[in-house]
Amino acid sequence: MKNKTLLALLVVLGLGLAGCASQNEKPAAVTEGAGQGAETSGAGEQPGATGTALDGDKTSSADLLGKRRVYFAFDSSAVDDESRGIIEAHATYLAAHPQTKVVLEGHTDERGTREYNLALGERRGQAVERMMRTLGVTGDRVKVTSYGEEKPVATGHDESSWRLNRRVEILY
Amino acid sequence: MKVLAKTSVRGALLLTGLVLMFWSLTARSILTIEITQSLDVGMPIAIVPFGWEGTSKPPQDVSAVIEADLARSGHFRIQPKKDYLSAPHVQKDVIFKDWRRLLKTEALVIGKMRQIGPDKYRVEFRLYDVFKETQLAGYEFDVPASGLRMVAHQFSDIIFEKLTGEPGVFNTRIAYITKEGIPRRGVMFRLQVADSDGYNPITILSSAEPLMSPSWSPDGKRLAYVSFEKKRTMLFVQNVTDSTRTLIAEFKGNNSAPAWSPDGTRLALTLSKDGNAEIYVMRLADRSLTRITDNPAIDTEPAWSPDGQHIIFTSARSGGPQIFRVSAQGGTPQRLTFEGDYNARASYSADGRMLTLITRSAGIFHTAVMDLKTSALQVLTDTSLDESPSFAPNGRIILYATIVQGRGVLASVSSDGRVRQLLKLQEGDVREPAWSPFNR
């Protein structure tokens, strides 16, 4: 009897935890963007909704603006063609909205060493920053930060998670 | 024979208060050790359960702590107690020939504990060479209950050194980072310090944002680390006992990878204040910075040679990350690793002859050692996703972080690869271990 109650409690706690963890990664990122004072410009995201960058396959610029994450190959900060389209859409928007500040937050997967990954995440952010600057996002309103491998969005230990974690988040 | 040196346990009392304060936080966060590989070939040793004179139960089974230490080291084979013919606590009751003939034991540990005050215990330890019938070591300690594990570790160190010729590392501590999910509050990161066997964990910092890269000062009194508490990297130095801390670096960009110089006066660190990750040396007295590297690729993860003359670091200047060495004054770095396409986060053994580092082999990230004379790289682990390796202060064990069954755990391997252990939390992940220097 006692064991069953305990088990039920553990299950509830476990679910609570899992829910909490997944809810928490994203709002944390969104809040940070909000801290820069531009939460409502986020292309119609529902606050608290998960799956931010995953909806829709259409390629209008509004859809590209809905994508807030660009992805990278292992130990690379090279921007691929798909990412280029997303970065261009955001750069165009930001060039037209000179008051909007943007944070480019670089992340890596868990492989390799933590301090190296912290530097690698920064390089990814800087790669996106360089592209944005050449596209007319000027001044000191672009800020690059890195969390290295410390804030994964997917917590598995294989490529299906790793590819989602090697990313730059475009936050404004 | 009363060479019984009285050793004080300075610090033990001070720590007790902190342990109690953080007990509720850390009750579930005690590291437990699981020996995953051990060879049954060590020196046979018998450890007689200690005698006890007191009104209630002894507050700590000190002989059990010694036994666990010695068993874990991989250098000893503990003789099973059921085979003991007697249970001596003092020398006059020791019949050496019984231990020698029937148990074929080479060394014998006996001792006793007595309550001598409200929270004061006198512990007496003796180590004998069974063949020569001589005492190799004898010590007596007066300690509060909170100091009993510490004196047991101290005597384990004495036993280890008398029997192997090398200093033990039982009475040292480890620092590490834990990450635990907290219902309704998200994730909690903690910087903790515990005894080398995982007991007495103290949380010295908690944060909802990541903590990274703990690094011990050479005197074992301070830890440098990186905190994201303001959503960007800041580098702090914190006093381990009283938890006061100093902000050391908050430049634009990353402030990361602190490493103390062997003399404790400088920190090597990685800053990207000028746009790219470079190694600097900061003199702590005046915070002055000397830039050590200048290369457009990533340079990070500095570590000092034990003589303070060189800094080794990870650099991507030749493509993938590799280990380089440079004079601590700066200059032209020299590449040290050539085997494999990913070698990172190297650090020296105390004798300066070996490096431990992370190497990728067939896509798997392993802890390895490299002999600096031959440049031969030897993979030591069968785990994957290894990180953050470092030598124990006696150079005999390497402690690192890895993933086992989806959980972040600490693992240790003897530098010859024979003995392996895992240190796990009941819940959550543990990572980034840093072994303290010898307790002096």
Evaluate if pTM is beyond 0.90: no
Chain A touched by B293 (CB under 8 Å): no
Please tell me the distance in Å from B263's CA to the nearest CA on chain A.
23
Structure tokens at A134: 């050449």
Interface predicted TM-score (ipTM): 0.89
Q: Min CA distance, B182 vs chain A (Å)?
A: 7
Residue A51 has pLDDT above 60, yes or no: no
Which of A52-61, B33-42, B180-189 ranks highest by mean pLDDT? B180-189
pLDDT tens digits, B351-406: 999 999 999 999 999 999 999 999 999 999 999 999 999 999 999 899 999 999 99
| pLDDT (average), residues B85-92 | 93
Q: What three-state secondary structure class fits A39? A: helix
Residue with tokens 């001598």: B116
Confidence of residue B264 (pLDDT cuts 50, 70, 90): very high
Q: Assign B29 a pLDDT band (cuts: 50, 70, 90).
A: low
Cβ-Cβ contacts under 8 Å, A113 against chain B? 301, 314, 321, 344-345, 358, 387-388
- Burial annotation B368-397 (CB, 10 A radius, 16+ → b, else e): bbbebeeeebeebbebbbbbbbbbbbbbbb
Q: Is the CB of residue B48 less than 8 Å from the CB of residue B109?
A: yes
Is the CB of B388 inside 8 Å of chain A's CB atoms? Answer: yes
**DSSP codes of every residue in B135-202:** EEEEEEEEE-GGGHHHHHHHHHHHHHHHHHSS---TT-EEEEEEEEEETTTEEEEEEEEEETTS-S-E
Asked which of A39-43, B195-199, B421-425 is least confident by mean pLDDT, the reply is: A39-43
Interface test with A, best of B191, B255, B274, B301 (most A CBs within 10 A): B301
Query: Positive or negative, the Cα torsion across A62, A67, A72, A78?
Result: positive
Q: Phi, psi at residue B257, to the nearest 5°?
A: 55, 55
H/E stretch holding B72: helix B62-73
Q: Kindly identify which residue of chain B lies nearest to residue A147, measuring between CA atoms.
A: B232
Provide the pairing of β-strand B310-315 with B322-327: antiparallel
For position B417, what pLDDT does the model report? 83
What local confidence, expressed as pLDDT, does residue B159 receive?
Answer: 97
Average pLDDT over residues B25-32: 62
List alpha helices for chain A, DSSP H: 2-35, 61-66, 81-96, 114-134, 159-165
Q: Which residues on neighbouring strands pair with residue B397, listed in sequence order?
A: B414
Q: Which residue, B421, B349, B415, B348, is CA-closest to B380?
A: B415
- Residue A96, SS3 per DSSP: helix
| CB-based contact A114 B213, cutoff 8 Å | yes
How confident is the model over B60-65, as a mean pLDDT? 95
Residue B170 has pLDDT above 80, yes or no: yes
Give the Å distances, CA to CA, from A126 to A67, A78, A166.
18, 10, 14
C-alpha separations of B170 from A46, B74, B154, B249, B385 in Å: 54, 13, 7, 33, 27
CB of A115 closer than 8 Å to CB of B299: no
Most A-contacting residue of B311, B387, B429, B430 (CB-CB within 10 A), to test interface: B387
Search chain B and give the residue with CA nearest A155.
B406
pLDDT (tens digit, 9 = 90+) per residue, A100-125? 999 999 999 999 999 999 999 999 99
In this predicted model, which residue has the larger pLDDT, B131 or A33? B131
In tens, the pLDDT along B211-226 reads 999 999 999 999 999 9
What pLDDT was estimated at residue B426?
A: 83
Nearest-Cα distance to chain B for A126, in Å, is 9
How far is A115 from B313, CA to CA, in rounded Å? 11
pLDDT in tens, B307-323: 999 999 999 999 999 99
Confidence at residue B22, expressed as pLDDT on a 0 to 100 scale: 38
What average pLDDT does chain A have? 76
Mean pLDDT of B182-204: 91
Euclidean distance between CA atoms B46 and B64, whole angstroms: 12
Is B240 part of the contact surface with chain A (CB cutoff 8 Å)?
Answer: no
Alpha carbons B399 and A94: distance in angstroms, whole number: 47
The number of helices, as runs of H, and strands, as runs of E, in chain B is: 5, 32
The residue-averaged pLDDT of A119-137 equals: 97
